[in-house]
């Protein structure tokens, strides 16, 4: 059975790899990008199974128009992939507010716009999958210099959890993808590193210094192929971590959360009426 994919940010990185993997599997792809002419080679190779569409995800009306174009060409959508996103590096204190907001506009509000444009289509057919690209930072957080990017990724996760709960009876599924370091242009030409104040050299500066130091371990082509296989399963995970380093980070973070919750459990419970109060604070 042929699946129709709607993928944002298809010109490079994960979006491009996923579009190629879906097409190689015999599916149809609505490949959106700010510069759809960058997808001409895919059209030459795969013909009318590819529909390039110009889309700036920060424009809600454009998102609606892109979904309408997809439905006109392919008579519906099966899988929506919110991949478009980018990050700039600066401390929260020193990043210009308009830069912080522009990143959030793409990384969160772009997801919101595309989801709202696609939901009526998926509801009408009573089926469909929405794939949200987050990052391992959207789970564990705390990467110096990525305040706007990681805040948006946490917001995407929370937003998606609510959407999944609201639409559970409607046949719509959700998958949050949390990659670690991958060999894409995310930390390349699309990333700006702003001036770093001396007091942030040890934290934000250390993050900036990692850029381009070595090739990331993650293979975006493998990731694209994995996602095509996973999305076509009936048993879909709510979250999928990608990359060996990301798996280690996720497991370490979860263990730490459980240990902290257990250590403070008596204090936490004591806030309720009827519980022992006051509770002793943990030693140390």
Domain that holds residue 42: 4-242
User: Is residue 19 a part of any domain in this protein?
Assistant: yes
Q: Alpha-carbon distance 131 to 82, whole Å? A: 6
Active site residue 253: no
The verdict on residue 268 lying in a domain is no
**What is the number of structural domains in the chain?**
1
Residue 149 falls in the annotated catalytic set? yes
Q: Is residue 128 part of a domain?
A: yes
Residue 200 lies in a domain: yes
Residue 276 belongs to a domain: no
Question: Per the residue annotation, which of 11, 143, 148, 153 is the catalytic one?
Answer: 153
Distance in angstroms (rounded) separating the CA atoms of residues 258 and 47: 51
Q: Does residue 184 surpass a pLDDT of 90?
A: no
Question: Of 186 and 267, which is predicted with more confidence?
Answer: 267
pLDDT score recorded for residue 193: 85
Residue 187 pLDDT > 80 = no
From 13-27, 30-44, 178-192, the region with the lowest mean pLDDT: 178-192
264 in a structural domain: no
- Which CATH number covers residue 105? 3.40.50.720
In this structure, is residue 260 part of a structural domain?
no
Please, are residues 21 and 225 in contact by the beta-carbon 8 Å criterion?
yes
Choose, from 46, 112, 149, 200, the residue flagged as catalytic.
149
| Candidates 11, 134, 135, 143; catalytic one | 134
Domain annotation covers residue 104: yes
Measure Cα distances from 36 to 113, 177, 207 in Å: 19, 24, 32
Q: Any catalytic annotation for residue 143? A: no
Whether this prediction's pTM lies above 0.85 is answered by: yes
**pLDDT above 70 for 188:** no
């Amino acid at each position: 059975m042929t699946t129709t994919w709607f993928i944002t940010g298809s010109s490079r990185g994960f979006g491009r790899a996923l579009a190629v993997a879906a097409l190689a599997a015999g599916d149809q792809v609505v490949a959106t990008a700010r510069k759809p002419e960058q997808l001409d080679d895919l059209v030459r190779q795969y013909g009318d199974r590819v529909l390039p569409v110009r889309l700036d995800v920060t424009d809600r009306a454009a998102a609606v128009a892109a979904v309408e174009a997809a439905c006109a060409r392919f008579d519906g959508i099966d899988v929506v992939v919110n991949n478009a996103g980018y990050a700039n590096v600066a401390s929260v204190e020193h990043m210009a507010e308009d830069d912080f907001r522009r990143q959030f506009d793409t990384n969160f509000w772009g997801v919101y716009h595309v989801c709202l444009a696609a939901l009526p289509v998926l509801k009408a057919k009573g089926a469909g999958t929405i794939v949200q690209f987050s990052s391992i930072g959207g789970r564990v957080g705390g990467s110096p210099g990525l305040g706007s990017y990681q805040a948006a990724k946490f917001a995407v996760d929370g937003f998606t959890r609510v959407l999944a709960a609201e639409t559970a009876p409607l046949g719509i599924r959700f998958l949050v993808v949390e990659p670690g370091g991958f060999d894409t242009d995310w930390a390349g030409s699309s990333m700006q590193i702003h001036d770093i104040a001396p007091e942030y050299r040890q934290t934000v500066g250390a993050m900036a210094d990692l850029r381009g130091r070595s090739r990331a371990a993650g293979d975006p082509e493998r990731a694209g192929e994995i996602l095509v296989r996973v999305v076509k399963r009936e048993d879909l995970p709510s979250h999928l971590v990608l990359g060996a380093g990301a798996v280690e980070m996720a497991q370490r973070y979860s263990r730490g959360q459980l240990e902290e919750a257990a250590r403070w459990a008596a204090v936490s419970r004591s806030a309720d009426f009827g519980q022992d109060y006051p509770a002793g604070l943990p030693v140390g």
